[in-house]
Amino acid sequence: MNLEPEYREGLDQLAAHYKEVLSLLGEDPSREGLEKTPMRVAKAMQVLTRGYTQDARKVLTDALFEEKYNQMVIVKDIDFFSMCEHHMLPFFGKVHVAYIPNGYITGLSKIARVVDIFSHRLQVQERMTQQIKDCIQDTLKPLGVMVVVEAKHLCMQMRGVEKQNSITTTSDFSGAFNQAKTREEFMNLIRPK
């Protein structure tokens, strides 16, 4: 089978398993509407987990620029879609990132790429938040970095565990953001006006 570049090995096996899953759920995988579903799901799942094959640190180390600017750099409202590792159902929302450079900056789109890579894996929101922070801290070595993630979790909303529309917020920070005043400055800037 000639794999399109965005798909990985194991696609056929994955599709075979999804066919089995459909049967186990009480469906008839041979009926017309479901005939191509196992392969579609397999492809979709490979795309949603493509972050496993991508190196977020390399994205940043490949795009470091020396720069004397040492005020807070903020990238807010980065949309993301991920899947919770407990139910494999989506959680999605926005990521806000701030860092204070220490000689190096990176392209703003690279921060969004890092978010994209960590979100395209099975995740818990807390760990994703920390991984984004660590990745930026370890590569740019800024004076501090802070990451705030706001998300809705379909595993809670669809199963009725939580109130509809509740938003889960997580944050992690390092260095200069240990000071409440610095965190506040960032939080004020990302708060919707």
84 is in an annotated binding site: yes
Active site residue 135: no
Smallest gap from residue 123 Cβ to Zn ion (A): 10
Collapsing DSSP to helix, strand or coil, 83 comes out as: strand
Considering CB under 5 A, how many residues would be counted as binding Zn ion? 4
| Residue 135 assigned ligand-binding role | no
Instruction: Supply the minimum distance, in Å, between the C-beta of residue 162 and Zn ion.
Output: 11
Q: Is residue 155 near Zn ion by the rule CB under 5 A?
A: yes
Query: What φ, ψ does residue 24 adopt, rounded to 5°?
Result: -65, -25
76 SS3 class: strand
85 is known as an active-site residue: yes
Question: Which region, judged by CB under 5 A, interacts with Zn ion, from 9-17, 18-26, 74-82, 87-95?
Answer: 87-95
96 appears as a binding residue in the annotation: no
Q: Residue 173: which residues within 8 A CB-CB, separation 6 or more?
A: 133, 144, 145, 146, 147, 183
Neighbouring-strand partners of residue 100: 144
Cα separation of 131 and 115, whole Å? 9
As measured in angstroms, the least distance from the Cβ of 73 to Zn ion is 32
According to DSSP H, which parts of 28-124 are helical? Answer: 37-48, 56-61, 108-119
Of 75 and 84, nearer to Zn ion (C-beta) is: 84
For residue 52, the SS3 value is: helix
The residues with which 168 forms a beta bridge, in sequence order, are: 151
At its nearest, how many Å lie between Zn ion and the CB of residue 124? 8
Q: Does 86 bind Zn ion (CB under 5 A)?
A: yes
Q: Does 34 bind Zn ion (CB under 5 A)?
A: no
**Is residue 66 classed as helix, strand or coil in its secondary structure?**
strand
Catalytic site includes residue 17: no
For position 143 contacting Zn ion by CB under 5 A, the verdict is: no
Member of 84, 100, 147, 151 binding Zn ion (CB under 5 A): 84
Give the span between the Cα atoms of 94 and 168, in whole angstroms.
11
What residue ranges bind Zn ion (CB under 5 A)? Answer: 84, 86-87, 155
Catalytic residues: 84-87, 125, 153, 155
